[in-house]
Amino acid sequence: MTNNSNHQEELIVESDQREANHSSANQTSRHEKKSLIVFKLHEVPPIMFTIGLAFQHYLTMFGGTISLPFVVSAPLCIGNNNPLAISDLISTVFFVSGIATLLQVTFGVRLPIVQGASYAFVTPTFAIMSLEKWKSTCSPNTVPWANLTLDQQNNQTEMWQSRIREIQGGIMLASLFQVVIGFTGLVGLCLRFIGPITVACTITLVGLTLISTATLYASSNWGIAVLTIFFVTLFSQILEKYAVPLPGYQRGKGCYISKAHIFRLFPVLLAIIVSWVVSAILTAAGAFTSDRSNPGYFARTDARIAVLETSPWLRFPYPFQWGIPTTSVAGVFGMLAGVLASMIESIGDYYACARLVETRPPPKHAINRGIGMEGIGCVLAGMIGSGAGTTSYSENIGAIGITGVASRAVIQCGSVIMIVLAIVSKFGALFASIPNPVVGGVFVIMFGMVTAVGISNLQFCDMNSPRNVFIVGFSIIFGMAFPTWLSTNSSVIKTTVPELDQIIVVLLSTNMAVGGVTALILDNIIPGTLEERGMRAWFQETENKSGKMTEEYVKEMKKTYDLPFGISEFFRRFTCSSYIPFCAPHYDIEEESEQHRDLEIGKVINTSSV
């Protein structure tokens, strides 16, 4: 145990030196540079260290995951007087994220990737709930929940549960498409036509369309919202380089002081706590209104305090907990747009994670398996009723680069923590009572990060090219403008089939569907070189530069991407398994060498020679 403690202290002390050398190290080749990884993918850190790092990953994805139930509460018609519903959704989201993460890391792409609630499903949710069928019947009660009669409580409960059942059905059926496209290998075919411009426009629109939600929550009290933004910025951008001395105790060593970069690791959580405390002080001082009809009332820390008293200690989320899901063709097509956007984002995360883990880029069979398993996670999310599907979390991938810990076991342990804490209902109830402006401040940061992640994909393109500037600018503006107009003029869509009207309205009201499809079409029909479009750099990570199938290469690929418990070796006994898209290949040296020389970059050149 003493050696483990010393090892942990060395990791903390050397973290800054690793980061200082990171930039120069990246300029050397993969085999020449100094490794930044402390625990490799297949290694298991000491048990206490594993639990600590796992909880850190939980806190890293905490900010993005806990925000989603608050975002979807408005279209689901969950009133501010019903924090217990928000609490149940928070527990469900973390429960589903834990299951999806465990499946992905163990049987999916096999990289240390955390799965969490995807905001790509939020925009379709708003579009579906804006249909007249749902919009006209949304009338949440503002009377405190405890003061409502039993019939009124039942009516309010049915109001939001009937809506989430519609979302559940759409997510489940749309996610089956992701399962099929992943396990059949069709994802590789689709990627030939999807470049960084399409990805950038799609993900950017996901962030931009959530601006109104951030404004709604922050408007309860802009002072508290700006204070939250200030602290997130202070902790994550200015104080992140400073280590804080923390006391510790080790048997045989006694008390000691170690330093930890808590500002870098927990900026969102710390900002929420500080702003929450400030709100509590102002509430006690009578600075906030006590009029529940005033939006400023929900800046008070006691606005939803009843949820802590009424929520049970333990609650186990289970399939169809809100009732049997319903569905409509419009709902399925709307959620399909979210599935596609989430899938595109995840594929980019796979390659980014492989680079940080310092392993080979994921081969086709691993990507197929990862997308298929993510689809299964989304189907489970629909069954259990989290309100959204799941996707890979970029912030947790970034945490690997900070800590130097790429252990698969750490993420698996983190998924168990998500599941266990989700069952403790009081935990979700506590965070459901966060004041609205604090949540709004976090939203501004989170949605800004989503937008910036989308824009960052343009680094692969030549943005001095008038062609690319036109496609990006037009696609984003058109993706914002047309759905905004259609939201108030949906009656102009009139065919002879009402169901077809709903499909068209939902799809054309989904910003990322309009903008993403526009970018996809323009990027493939307007002439441009591969370098100009960013396609060559986009696919370069999949290229085996040596073209040789060495024993070291085969060993690393098997250790990284083979299925556990000897499953891959079992399938290798059968020759026909080579034709199964999600099965690992036989690694014949000659055949594999040819395969690696004809990877995606060559396919892009052959099929996209415009």
Do the beta carbons of residue 102 and residue 396 sit within 8 Å? Answer: no
User: Considering the domain boundaries, does residue 189 fall inside one?
Assistant: yes
Do the beta carbons of residue 81 and residue 142 sit within 8 Å? Answer: yes
Same domain (yes/no): 206, 330:
yes
Phi, psi of 245 (to 5 degrees): -70, 130
Q: If you average pLDDT over every residue of the chain, what do you get?
A: 79
Same domain (yes/no): 477, 554:
no
Contacts of 495 (CB under 8 A, 6+ apart): 501, 504
Same domain (yes/no): 510, 546:
no
Do the beta carbons of residue 377 and residue 392 sit within 8 Å? Answer: no
Q: How far, in Å, CA of 342 to CA of 178, rounded?
A: 10
- pLDDT at res. 518: 92
Predicted confidence (pLDDT) per residue in 330-363, tens digit = 888 888 888 887 887 787 778 778 877 878 778 8
Same domain (yes/no): 552, 459:
no
Q: How far is CA 569 from CA 409, 552, 583, in A?
A: 21, 18, 10
- pLDDT at res. 415: 93
Return the minimum-mean-pLDDT range out of 70-79, 136-145, 425-434: 136-145
User: Considering the domain boundaries, does residue 361 fall inside one?
Assistant: yes
- pLDDT at res. 66: 77
- pLDDT at res. 227: 93
Going by pLDDT thresholds of 50, 70 and 90, the confidence category of residue 27 is very low
- Does the pLDDT of residue 544 top 70, yes or no? no
Return the minimum-mean-pLDDT range out of 127-141, 411-425, 485-499, 546-560: 546-560
Q: How far, in Å, CA of 303 to CA of 103, rounded?
A: 38
Return the minimum-mean-pLDDT range out of 80-84, 89-93, 330-334: 80-84
- pLDDT at res. 232: 86
Per the model's pLDDT, the better-predicted residue between 539 and 434 turns out to be 434
DSSP-derived secondary structure for 122-175: HHHHHHHHTSHHHHTT-----S-GGGS-HHHHHHHHHHHHHHHHHHHHHHHHHH
Count Cα atoms within 13 angstroms, Cβ side, for 542: 26
- pLDDT at res. 538: 67
Same domain (yes/no): 370, 495:
yes
Burial per residue of 328-341, b for 16 or more beta-carbon CB atoms within 10 angstroms, e otherwise: bebbbbbbbbbbbb
- pLDDT at res. 478: 94
Same domain (yes/no): 475, 570:
no
Do the beta carbons of residue 9 and residue 46 sit within 8 Å? Answer: no
Predicted confidence (pLDDT) per residue in 189-198, tens digit = 777 787 889 8
Across 509-606, where does the E strand assignment appear?
none
Mean pLDDT of 62-80: 80
Question: Would you state the torsion angle of the CA atoms of residues 504, 510, 511, 513, taken in this order, to the nearest 10 degrees?
Answer: -70
Same domain (yes/no): 485, 599:
no
Per the model's pLDDT, the better-predicted residue between 410 and 4 turns out to be 410
- pLDDT at res. 272: 85
Mean pLDDT of 557-586: 81
Q: How far, in Å, CA of 158 to CA of 323, rounded?
A: 10
Mean pLDDT of 108-118: 90
Range of the domain at 593: 538-607
- pLDDT at res. 406: 84
Mean pLDDT of 257-262: 77
End-to-end CA distance of the chain: 61
- Does the pLDDT of residue 140 top 70, yes or no? no
- pLDDT at res. 230: 93
Per the model's pLDDT, the better-predicted residue between 22 and 70 turns out to be 70
Same domain (yes/no): 522, 546:
no
Contacts of 187 (CB under 8 A, 6+ apart): 181, 343, 347, 367, 368, 371
Going by pLDDT thresholds of 50, 70 and 90, the confidence category of residue 545 is very low
Per the model's pLDDT, the better-predicted residue between 371 and 345 turns out to be 371
241 Cα distance to chain centroid: 26
- pLDDT at res. 334: 83
User: Considering the domain boundaries, does residue 531 fall inside one?
Assistant: no
User: Considering the domain boundaries, does residue 532 fall inside one?
Assistant: no
Domain count, the chain: 2
Same domain (yes/no): 518, 463:
yes
| Structural domain ending residue among the three candidates 495, 526, 557 | 526
- pLDDT at res. 383: 94
| Structural domain ending residue among the three candidates 526, 546, 571 | 526
Predicted confidence (pLDDT) per residue in 482-526, tens digit = 988 987 887 787 777 776 777 777 778 778 788 888 999 999 999
Same domain (yes/no): 398, 292:
yes
Predicted confidence (pLDDT) per residue in 186-227, tens digit = 887 777 787 889 888 887 887 788 788 788 888 888 999 999
Predicted confidence (pLDDT) per residue in 301-328, tens digit = 887 777 777 778 888 999 999 999 998 8
Question: Which of 274, 264, 219 is CA-nearest to residue 240?
Answer: 264
User: Considering the domain boundaries, does residue 235 fall inside one?
Assistant: yes
- Does the pLDDT of residue 13 top 60, yes or no? no
DSSP single-letter state for residue 238:
I
Same domain (yes/no): 161, 241:
yes
pTM across the whole model: 0.71
Same domain (yes/no): 368, 515:
yes
Question: Which of 284, 300, 282 is CA-nearest to residue 292?
Answer: 300
Do the beta carbons of residue 108 and residue 95 sit within 8 Å? Answer: no
User: Considering the domain boundaries, does residue 150 fall inside one?
Assistant: yes
Do the beta carbons of residue 483 and residue 508 sit within 8 Å? Answer: yes
User: Considering the domain boundaries, does residue 49 fall inside one?
Assistant: yes
| Structural domain ending residue among the three candidates 501, 526, 551 | 526
